[in-house]
Structure 1
Amino acid sequence: MTEFLPISTGFVWPLAVAIAWVLGEIVHRSTNLPRISVYSLTGVVLSYAQTGMLPRPSEGEITLIANMAFGLILFEFAYRINLRWLRLNWWLAASGLAESVATFVLVYIVVGMFGITGLPGLLIAALAVSTSPAEVLRVVNEQRSSGQVTERVLHLAALNCLFAVFIFNLIVGLWSFQHSGSVWSAVSNSLLVLAASGALGVAFGYAVPVLLRKLGILAQDATLAFSIAVILLAALAQAFKISPILATLGFGLMVRHRREALSPAQRNFGALGDLLTVLLFVFIGASLAWPSIVAGADIALALLGARFLSKLAGATLFARFSGTTWRKGLLTGVAMSPMSVLVIGLMVQTRSMGIDLMDQLAPLATATLLLAIFGPVLTQLALKFAGETSEPQEK
């Protein structure tokens, strides 16, 4: 499509963001569906593999901007995680670990029934564990949700995320070793990536609050200062080919752990965060190619069924032990449906290492598309049934 338009490829991404935002507002106001579902679907329709308006997301600087957008969300998400609560309520932490392991094992068994075994099956299983912080936090903020189910979803999503990133990088390291025969290549693509990413995030978590305190602005509006820090961190992570996901999570967790007060910071990082969120979800949709989506449809449905069942069972079975009701445990499991942004983020990370796995993991494309659209809807419904939303009336 772009060859018939008298515009440069540098213009099509802003145009796609504008289209997605308008459609998101129209659909949300008329149906109350999450805006991010519309953003992702718009990206799918406009992508290189469908209408061809957008180039491949791996081309140009758009990947860096998407990583920055994801970094802002991950920082805010990590800052909301109370590690002390997980230590005190160890049943909640145990439920997150048990559910993660169960999801990994069950999904691997299911895809193995379709002939996907070995490293591809392990990678799919690892990615299926993840509950994407981006969709969950966006729905929570959009619905102004608060309460027991909301907090449990956020904390369990964090545990899922850390488990998925850790296992995924180990498997990528094994993949590198099998294809290159180099032990150094395997270690540098797995353990060193994990260590360097975490160390960079922790370093920012120590240094940035100290700098802001010396400048005398930590107690003022922290939105701009931490936005710049997160954007710089994401850029550094991409430049050094380490994980921006783990780095920004570590940054947010360290700031929270040191009990730095960020209450003046705006929800979603204000207008900047809202703008980048639209671009991020368009980017996610544009990363998916229709041929891969069709090719993996049957396996993806079985994969999603196994994933949904294990998360539902894990959150429900541990509900009473961790101090809540069976009903709230069930709703927590439903709310943990989204996974798309984290999956694409990890796939983009491996591409930067010279490893392109998307074509070999076709079922993930279908699962990612379905959950990019329906995952936020399920999270929204679960929070509403829990009575924890207070979205303002649209005018």
Structure 2
Amino acid sequence: MITDVDFLLQSMAWPLVLLLAWFLAERLYETWNVPRVTSYVAVGLLGGLVNLPGLTASVAGLPFIANVALSLVLFELGYRINLRWFRHNPWVLVLGLVESVITFGAVYWASGFFELAADVRLIIAALSVSASPAGIVRVANELHSAGQVTERVLHLCAINCMVSVLALKLVVGYWHLSTSGDLVQAAFGSVHVLVTSLAVGTLLGVAVPWLLRFRSSHERGVTVVFALAVLLLTTMSYGLKLSPLLAALTFGIVARERRVHLTNAQRGFGTAGDVLTLFLFVYIASLLNWADVAGGMVLGLVLIAVRTASKVGCSLVAARLSGITERKGLLTGLALTPMSAFAILLLEQTRLYGLGPAVQVLSVMAGMLMLQELLGPVVTQRALMTAHETHVTKA
């Protein structure tokens, strides 16, 4: 039975933790230039460690809010993707696809040394292909970063995320087929979700800019419209059991091609976007179980080494072909280090849609995900700073 005191503590938990995370992030950023998202993750991990009432408990609606927060970031990432660049420099697209395949194969091979089931290894490999758009985009915005390395990192992150969703949906289809033998259910769980998610994102990407042309809206108004459209898209995806992450990324890419203007000041969707990002990283970190983190640390370190070697190695090999130096190729690969926010929410969606091994995979990958999201933004920040593409000035 929940007493009044327990209810009060549970009600206060999230606001207090978010306030603490914000305060700590600002202090560490101003003092030691620690990326804000790293501090958010650290506070979420500590909240999970002490099992703060109301934070680690299952609260209805929190996964939906987290998906809205990440969908906003994915829309922003998609909006910064220039499809014409792929036509002028197809090596960037080739690099993203080849690197994704190599990373999948390398992680699947390395995970075989830890006596894991084949379906678990396939899911781990599919998730390891992705990078964390929330971590990368937020660090880039924080630094006002722009240049060759920044643009390649953003484009490669988008490619990685799309390939990761595709690979995971195919694994889900394979799992349904191997467990039930129902080919129709397997196809419905993979091909249907992929095609419909892309179609819904494309539809909104065409419809919203078309509607905006009938009314002269100021820049803030345009941002509000797109934020509401992303909220609608996430709600539709939940109701239709689609992928809100893939749909939001597609929405951003198509909207960019429709030539709707968003200024630099509107990146991140303003104060509301900042609050949602703060919640997202604290929430994601609070989902990790510390016992699983400790138990999976050796596997995590091995998979991080393999994943990083794949991304850095491919970027180095393709550097000259794609028009940059080996140094910038190295920095591009390192900047793709973060991965857990996207991976955890993608895994959570597949669990809700009936993927049996999803809970086991989160437990196995806990150590890897914790290190990637805690330290990954720092690696991205240092890579962009070393590339001399940051434009931060003291107020």
Contact 1:292 1:359 in 2 (8 A): no
Q: Find the aligned partners of 1:181 and 1:219 in 2 and give their Cα distance.
A: 52
Give the match for residue 309 of structure 1.
Answer: 309
Q: Which runs of 4+ in 1 moved over 6 A?
A: 1-4
Query: Greater shift after overlay, 3-12 or 191-200?
Result: 3-12
Q: Is the Cα contact below 8 Å between 1:297 and 1:363 reproduced in 2? A: no
CA deviations on 1:311-346 (whole Å, 9 max, x unpaired) are 010111100000000100001011010101110121
Contact 1:204 1:251 in 2 (8 A): yes
1:52 CA displacement: 3.3
* Contact 1:57–1:283 (CA under 8 A) maintained in structure 2: no
Is the contact between residue 111 and residue 117 of structure 1 (CA under 8 Å) also seen in structure 2? no
> Does structure 2 retain, via aligned residues, the 8 Å contact 1:2–1:53?
no
CA distance in 1, matches of 2:73, 2:220: 21
**Which residue in 2 is equivalent to 1:227?**
227
Which residue does the alignment assign to 2:215? 215
Q: Which runs of 5+ in 2 are unaligned?
A: none
Q: Is the 8 A contact 1:78 1:158 kept in 2?
A: yes
Note if contact 1:57-1:287 (Cα within 8 Å) is conserved in structure 2.
Answer: no
For 1:251-310, what per-residue CA distance to the aligned partner results, in whole angstroms no more than 9, with x for missing partners? 001111222222376121100100100001011101111121122111111000000001
Q: Distance in 2 between the 1:129 and 1:2 partners?
A: 45
Go from structure 1 to structure 2 and tell me whether the alpha carbon gap of 1:220 and 1:8 turns closer, same or farther (over 3 Å shift).
Answer: closer
1:186 aligns with 2:186: yes
Q: Tell me, in whole angstroms, the C-alpha distance in 2 between the residues paired with 1:35 and 1:53.
A: 24
One-letter amino acid matched to 2:342: L
Match of 2:38 in 1: 37
In structure 1, what is the equivalent of residue 333 of structure 2? Answer: 333
Q: 1:257 to 1:55 in 2, by over 3 A?
A: same
- The 3 A distance-change label for structure 1 pair 340 and 194 is same
SS in 2 for 1:266: helix
CA contact (8 A) 1:68 1:234 kept: yes
Deviates more, 1:89-98 or 1:372-381: 89-98
**Structure 2 residue 120 is the aligned partner of structure 1 residue 120:** yes
- Aligned twin of 2:18: 17
| Structure 1 CA distance for aligned equivalents of residues 109 and 393 of structure 2 | 44
Q: Which moved more, 1:254-263 or 1:286-295?
A: 254-263
TM-score (norm 1): 0.94
Greater CA deviation, 271-280 or 7-16? 7-16
Q: Which residue of 1 aligns with 2:343?
A: 343
Instruction: Give the root-mean-square deviation of aligned CA atoms.
Output: 2.0
Distance in 1, matches of 2:82 and 2:278, equals 28
| Structure 1 runs not aligned, ≥5 long | none
Partner of 1:292: 292
Residues 362 and 6 of structure 1: CA distance in aligned 2, closer, same or farther (over 3 Å)? closer
Aligned residues of 1:241 and 1:352 also touching (Cα < 8 A):
no
- Please state if 1:163 is matched with 2:173: no
Secondary structure, counterpart of 2:365 in structure 1: helix
Q: Are the aligned partners of 1:57 and 1:286 in contact in 2 as well (CA < 8 Å)?
A: no
Q: Deviations over 1:46-87 (max 9, x none)?
A: 12x642334447530011111111111111110000111012
Query: Which range moves more in the overlay, 287-296 or 375-384?
Result: 287-296
TM-score w.r.t. the length of structure 2 is 0.94
Provide the C-alpha distance between the structure 2 equivalents of 1:363 and 1:379, rounded to a whole number of angstroms.
25
Contact 2:351–2:359 (Cα < 8 Å) also in 1: no
Amino acid at match of 1:186: A
What residue number does 2:175 align with?
175
SS at match of 1:52: coil
Aligned residues: 393
Q: Distance in 1 between matches of 2:206 and 2:218?
A: 13
